[in-house]
A = this chain, B = another copy of it.
């Protein structure tokens, strides 16, 4: 059971952007080098982050990415959700906390599954990107 490197990479990159909020855009080449992450891989993460409107991009020389809004208004959950997909760590429960397995009537496990899922979600939702600076 692991969160993918996408999440850690993405958080690290977003922290960089947060540090430059209201300053110049930051290029992926710069982040990739500083953080020792594959630039090509980062590029694909940022396509997703942009699609979900967490970042803005500027093309061309001296372009790059910048946060779409104040880091105080970006939850860690928002970032993880984009990079990791739905937060439903058990096949029996969907991301809304509903039981979706066939045994629903006579299985006691659901109590703990939902509790773990809730603990992860609320932890991710409780922190903002600004809390990581």
Selected from B1, B8, B89, B122, the residue in CB contact (under 8 A) with A92 is B8
A16 to chain B, nearest CB (A): 10
| Bound: A113/B9 CA distance, A | 12
How many monomers of this protein are in the complex? 2
Q: Is the CB of A116 within 8 A of B124?
A: yes
Q: Is the CB of A91 within 8 A of B5?
A: yes
List, in ascending order, chain B residues with CB within 8 A of A108's CB: 15, 132-133
Q: Give the A interface residue count (CB, 8 A).
A: 40
Q: Is the CB of B84 within 8 A of A1?
A: yes
List, in ascending order, chain B residues with CB within 8 A of A107's CB: 12, 15
Q: Does A41 contact B (CB under 8 A)?
A: no
